[in-house]
Chain A
Amino acid sequence: MPLTRRDKLITYLVVGPFAIVLAFPFYWMLQTSLKSDLDLYNVENVPFGFGDGSPTLDNYRFLFEDTQYARWLLNTVLVALAVVLITLVIAMPAGYALARLSGGWGQTLGVGIFLVYLVPPTLLFLPLSRVIAELGLQDRLASLVVVYPGFTIPFATWLMMGFFKSIPRELEDAALVDGASRLKTLVRIVLPISLPGILTVVIFTFALCVNEFVYAIAFITASDSKVVSTGIYTELIRGDVFYWGALMAATLIPAIPLALLYNTFLDRFIAGFTGGAFR
């Protein structure tokens, strides 16, 4: 049903201001990241605009040449990829089993797993930090790879369950009748169809890892093992000195690609969400 002219206008009048308010901090980061220090710290200058040597890419240059930012980005990606791999291997079979193979107790277990996702890191990091220390993993990226699946597996299992439920059962039954084993059916029939769902899980699991802050700041203090969210905070703020331009640039760089990915995969995420535990 196409919208009437009036409906369209109202839609823009509602959605527009929301978008402006929600995106404003990012516009502000962009503006700040392109300013020279001279321009930034001159109270006389109008903040919405450029002057005194701005716009400039100096902050970006500083970030990549004089700090370990590139290293932190790399660390973040490495940790996230390792965790995504572990998560997929563990969560995909579990999600499938919960969606298809188990009866009444499967439903209960599904809700149970969802509840585990809601157990916050702040409840667990005290004992975990001791465990990490005993294992000798402090200051090593491995500590994060060990701990992150604790929240990514419940999340991914639950999302996968939603996707598998939305695949028509008849497709598998047909393969089973044709004499294929269950495992073979899973690999040959189910996996190819659920590829978009799996990709969605990969992206949102990856993002969860990039987003994590509490464990990363509690476990890692060595500069070259830091990840993006802790490295910027601990190394670009030195005592009372804030490298504002560089800080803002450092924030924008991971945010933009992640938001693009979210936007692209949002409809699939929604499908997984509605197909999940609340059906």
Chain B
Amino acid sequence: MEVVAVSRRRRRHLLEERRFLAAALIAPAVLFVGLLVGAPLILSVYLSLTDATAGSLTGDFVGFRNFTEQWSDPNFRTALRNTIVFTLLANAIIVVGAAILAHYLVRDFRGKWFLRFLILLPWAAPVALSTIGFLWIFDSLFSVVNWVLIHLSLVDEFNPPQWLGEPNKALAAITTVHAWRLLPFATVIMIAGLASIPKEVDDAAKVDGATGLRKLWYVTLPLQLPIATIAVLFGIVFTATDMAVVYILTRGGPFNSTQMLPMWAFQTGIQAGSLGQGAAIALFLLPALAVVTVLMLLFARRVEVT
């Protein structure tokens, strides 16, 4: 009797300590994130409702004027459309490519280490630097892409495509760079998904006579779906919010035809100094991203539970 009471008291004591310890260990992280992400986010909402300009953090309250003004700005419209188109196109390429690549890359074969190294390069290289590499690859005079196309007689030698100088080609170039740089990361996430499929499932599938394509369709793909969702989530967020690639390749040009929301926010808010307008542009992204994120996380969980 006494022993039970003592152990219960000790356990309660431990529980108390545990809870306290947990809070103490988590608090610094929450504090940091609150200060560095939460506070600026709130500040950015506040700024978007004022006419603040560079040099001050306050301005007169103007309601939703920044949002309505941007909504009717043709440059903003182009930026919005481009952001959506880039994001969807690049991620379609990424998810299909990564699914195929991951499927083969989990196997063991000779030279895997080296091939994997080559595949990881675009992910490991700082994005601003590798984009400069693409600036050279798409150069107006010395483009290697054009050199190859000319020698295959696919394009006119005297009037080769200007990859970064014509709106549609520039869009294609930017999409290519995004797909290229995010494909390795998506592949790694998919490999993680494949690696987490229990071996028993494989065995069970074999017993049931599911092989090859049937197995891929009925067993592997459904199990891979939750983690593929996570890969797409990362992909969407990283493409929709990236500024480095557009900034370096085209700066939104020619004539704002390749403008993206983050780039437009930067040019309006920092370079032109209209903080309020810039914040409003950046915030247009938030609800869309929040909805996408929540939907995908819910989906990933639901699939996993069933």
Contacts and interface: CB of A to CB of B under 8 A. Distances in A.
Are these two chains actual partners, yes or no?
yes
Interface of A: 3, 7-8, 10-12, 14-16, 18-23, 25-26, 28-29, 32, 40-41, 43, 47, 89-91, 93-94, 96-98, 101-102, 106, 109, 111, 113, 115-116, 118-131, 134, 146-147, 149-151, 153-154, 157, 182-183, 207, 210-211, 213-214, 217-218, 228-230, 232-233, 242, 244, 247-248, 250-251, 254-255, 258-263, 266, 269-270, 273-274, 278
Interface in B160-211: 180, 183-184, 188-189, 191-193, 195-196
Given A19-B119, A153-B33, A213-B243, A26 B132 contact: no
Contacts of A129: 270
Contacts of A28: 133, 136-137, 144
A126 B230 contact: no
Nearest to B116: A263
Contacts of A113: 29, 33
A259 B33 contact: no
Nearest to A176: B14
A11 B109 contact: yes
Contacts of A111: 297
Contacts of B248: 233
A128 B266 CA distance: 13
Contact of A127 (B47, B124, B125): B47
Contact of B124 (A29, A41, A207): A207
Contacts of A258: 124-126
A89 to B, nearest CB: 8
A157 B29 contact: yes
B125 A15 contact: no
Interface of B: 17-19, 21-23, 25-26, 28-30, 32-33, 36-37, 39-41, 43-44, 47, 56-57, 97, 100-101, 104-105, 107-109, 113, 115-130, 132-137, 139, 141-142, 144, 147, 180, 183-184, 188-189, 191-193, 195-196, 226-227, 230, 233-234, 237, 240-244, 247-248, 261-262, 265-266, 269-270, 275, 278-279, 282-283, 285-286, 289, 293, 297, 300, 304
Contacts of B119: 15, 18-19, 22-23
A126 B265 contact: yes
A251 B125 CA distance: 8
B133 A90 contact: no
A255 to B, nearest CB: 4
B230 A40 contact: no
Contacts of A23: 118-119, 121
The secondary structure that dominates the A interface is: helix
A214 B241 CA distance: 11
A33 to B, nearest CB: 10
Given A40-B142, A47-B147, A118-B293, A126 B136 contact: no
A7 B107 contact: yes
A102 B22 contact: yes
Contact of A278 (B39, B247, B300): B300
Contacts of A154: 33, 37
Q: Which 8 A-B pairs have the closest CB atoms?
A: A150-B36, A120-B241, A101-B22, A94-B29, A255-B125, A122-B262, A97-B25, A259-B124
B121 A26 contact: yes
Given A14-B101, A116-B37, A263-B113, A90 B28 contact: yes
B109 A123 contact: no
A18 B116 CA distance: 10
Given A120-B242, A210-B126, A278-B304, 4 more contacts: A11-B104, A106-B22, A124-B37, A274-B195
A153 B30 CA distance: 9
B188 A269 contact: yes
B97 A18 contact: yes
A120 B244 CA distance: 12
B25 A93 contact: yes
A221 to B, nearest CB: 11
B244 A214 contact: yes
